Chains A and B, each alone.
Chain A
Amino acid sequence: MNKRIDIHHITRVEGHGNIVVDAKNGKVVDVEWQVPEAPRFFESMLRGRSWQDVQTIVSRVCGICSISHSLTALKGIEAAMGIEVSSQTKKIRLLTHYSELLQSHVLHIGYLVAPDLLGVKSVIPLVDTHLDTVKTVIKLHRIANQWSELLAGRTTHPVTLQPGGFSKLPSSSDLQQLRVTLQNLLPDLKIVAELLLSLAEKIPEFVRETEYIALVNPGYYTFYDGQIGSTDTASTPVADFESIVNEYVVSQSTAKWARHARDSYAVGALARYNLNGEFLTPAAADLAHSFGLKDHCYNPYWNSIAQLIECIHIVESALEIVEELLIDGIREEVPKVQPRSGQGVGCLEAPRGILFHQYTFDERGICEHANLCIPTNQNHGNIQKDLEQLVPQIIDLSEEEIRLRMEMLVRAYDPCISCSTHYLDITFI
């Protein structure tokens, strides 16, 4: 029997992606993950622009992880111009980064993944059946937004982040209020965790060992500093990121793909968990234990659970930073930057995985070259390889179930396809 399933525009992901599956006589002949999104040309737009404009421009790469792009740009600019930032700046930047990680993870888990586990098409029917949970998710998302606004000046597309520091710093009373808000977040996160724990058996069983890549910094579950870690090889300095990503072009995608020690690798929350899980905060580690997660998890569907675990870690870690900042007191610092020529790489863990920006500036600080390597690009090859193994295993299931499993797999990666160059479109022949 021949099958052709066409999922045109996978739903509940950011952007457009298609899957084409050809099966003849019950055997899968071809599976193709396609990305037809139009290229964005951000790297070209940056050429000729001042070092002062770069973080503002790149924030527009993404409406969800704009803070990640801004921070990575700042790190790249500062590396190129030899700028050292203060410990206070690093702490407030990490605190700002945490707010976006929480925003993004809550949005993905609550609005995009929960409907799959509860057997509905979108979050909207859940307002009728799970009103309290929806209210909790919206409250968490709202508070994370306000947290971003407090530190970055806006919920999305930050305005306070500058090369060398901040244009506006939070006051001690801002931080005291943030401390109370963060303390109140933990019980709400536990409500979401209990719901997902009760639904854990609905997460499909599928295992494919692959290479996982994330920032590593011994002793820390790092999102900001460190070297590039791999489950297959030794760590690599951030400046050498091109030896890790090895971008290449495929005919089925307008986005570049990446590979390192194997045919493909994965980045994101599960990669971070697999490389840094031993450094989770106590409550986050307890939650991982409750889900039965071991040191390494090779089921990509569990990426969303790793995101949930990270939410707890983020809030607990943020509370520690707030405490430190309150003890030390906020010092007014005016960023002083003298532009100079140079080349630098910025790197951090964006919500969807490790993010690299590389810049070259001339002596006036005008950008001569930019190279942005975003997490979803790095995951495309791995999504393809997962589908190649998954589809033959489930080809005898109903067409509806095959579609759901494939869509859930892509959604688990939380792809932001628009950034990488936008949904899912499947064809079974």
Chain B
Amino acid sequence: MAHMMICSLGNPLMGDEGIGCHILSALESLSLMPHPSNTIKLQDLGTSGVHILHAIANQEKVILIDCAYMDEPPGTIRRFTPEDVESRKQNAHLSLHEGDLFRTLSISKMLGEYPEEVIIFGIQPQDVSPCTGLSPTLTANLHLYLALVLSEIMPTLAPRT
């Protein structure tokens, strides 16, 4: 029995910053059917730190998908846990407009409501600027991102009949 939550983070009005939303939309269009004993919830969490805190509270497994600057070539996707990385954001949490996911996750831990497991898929952007749609590089790789996220949840899905 598994309860999963797949969340996108980011702003689709800022080009590749919205890659999480594009992957979540693609997942939604697949009408995923979990095995009856499992649940999969898809949720777009936008850009608000506080909403992330509320949404993931006491969940079992949370998969977060976000645009990430990782010093990798544009279009690269990496799977990691919060313990694998260190945030370089300097100005986060000075207003409600810029949060730091990792600080939000550590608050969740301190409050005693941290999920049992958190997995992050980070995608290195090519272009983050005011526009809708993805850059050619991320568009070309969208099927790869989808396949990797699907492989994460595959054991919980029911066979189609």
Chain A positions near chain B (C-beta within 8 angstroms): 9, 11-15, 63-64, 107, 111-112, 122, 124, 127-128, 131, 134-135, 138, 141-142, 145, 155-156, 418, 422-423
> Can you show 12 pairs from A to B with CB atoms below 8 A apart?
A11-B95, A13-B95, A63-B48, A107-B50, A111-B96, A112-B96, A122-B93, A124-B93, A131-B111, A142-B54, A418-B97, A422-B95
Q: Across the interface, do A134 and B111 meet the contact criterion of CB distance under 8 Å?
A: yes
* C-alpha gap A422/B98 in the complex (Å): 12
CB distance from B18 to the nearest CB of A (A): 15
Question: Could you say which residues of chain A place their CB within 8 Å of the CB of B93?
Answer: 122, 124
Give the chain B neighbours of A15 by CB distance below 8 A: 95, 97
B85 within 8 Å of A by Cβ? no
B1 interfacial by beta-carbon distance below 8 Å: no
Q: Assuming the A-B contacts A124-B103, A124-B107, A135-B111, are A14 and B53 also in contact, with contact meaning beta carbons closer than 8 angstroms in the complex?
A: no
Which of A64, A138, A145, A156 neighbours the largest number of chain B CB atoms within 10 Å of its CB?
A138
Which residues on the B side are within 8 Å of A14 (C-beta)?
95-97
Q: Is B94 an interface residue (CB 8 A)?
A: yes
Known: A111-B96, A138-B54, A422-B97. 13 other contacts (CB 8 A): A11-B94, A13-B95, A15-B95, A15-B97, A64-B96, A112-B96, A122-B93, A122-B94, A127-B111, A135-B111, A145-B54, A155-B51, A422-B95
Residue of B51, B53, B96 with most chain A CB atoms under a 10 A cut-off: B96
Q: Which of B28-48 contact A (CB under 8 A)?
A: 48
A-B pairs with beta carbons under 8 A, tally: 48
Closest 6 CB pairs of A and B: A11-B94, A127-B110, A142-B54, A122-B93, A127-B107, A135-B111
Of the four ranges (under 10, 10 to 19, 20 to 34, 35 or more), the interface on chain B belongs to 10 to 19
- CB neighbours (8 Å) of B54 from chain A are 138, 141-142, 145
Please, which residues of chain A bring their CB within 8 A of the CB of B51? 145, 155-156
Known pairs A124-B103, A135-B111; A12 contacts B50 (CB<8 A): no
Write the chain A residue with the least CB distance to B51: A155
Q: How far is the CB of A112 from chain B (nearest CB, A)?
A: 8
B33 → chain A closest CB, angstroms: 25
In the bound complex, how far is the Cα of B50 from the Cα of A245, in angstroms? 34
Interface bits B55-96 vs A (CB < 8 Å: 1, else 0) = 001000000000000000000000000000000000001111
Q: Cβ of B95: which chain A residues have Cβ within 8 Å of it?
A: 11-15, 422-423
Task: Tell me, in angstroms, the Cα distance from A112 to B103 when the chains sit together.
Answer: 17
- Closest Cβ neighbor of A127 among chain B residues: B110
Residues of B within 8 A of A138 (CB): 53-54, 111
A13 to chain B, nearest CB (A): 6
Q: Which B residues are CB-close (under 8 A) to A12? A: 94-95
* B residues less than 8 Å from A135 (CB atoms): 111
Chain A residue nearest to B94 (CB atoms) is A11
* Distance between A314 CB and nearest chain B CB, rounded to angstroms: 19
**Docked pose: A61 CA to B97 CA in angstroms:** 14
Q: Complex Cα distance A113/B51, Å?
A: 19
A149 to B20, CA, bound (A): 23
Residues B75-132 near A (CB distance < 8 A): 93-97, 103, 107, 110-111
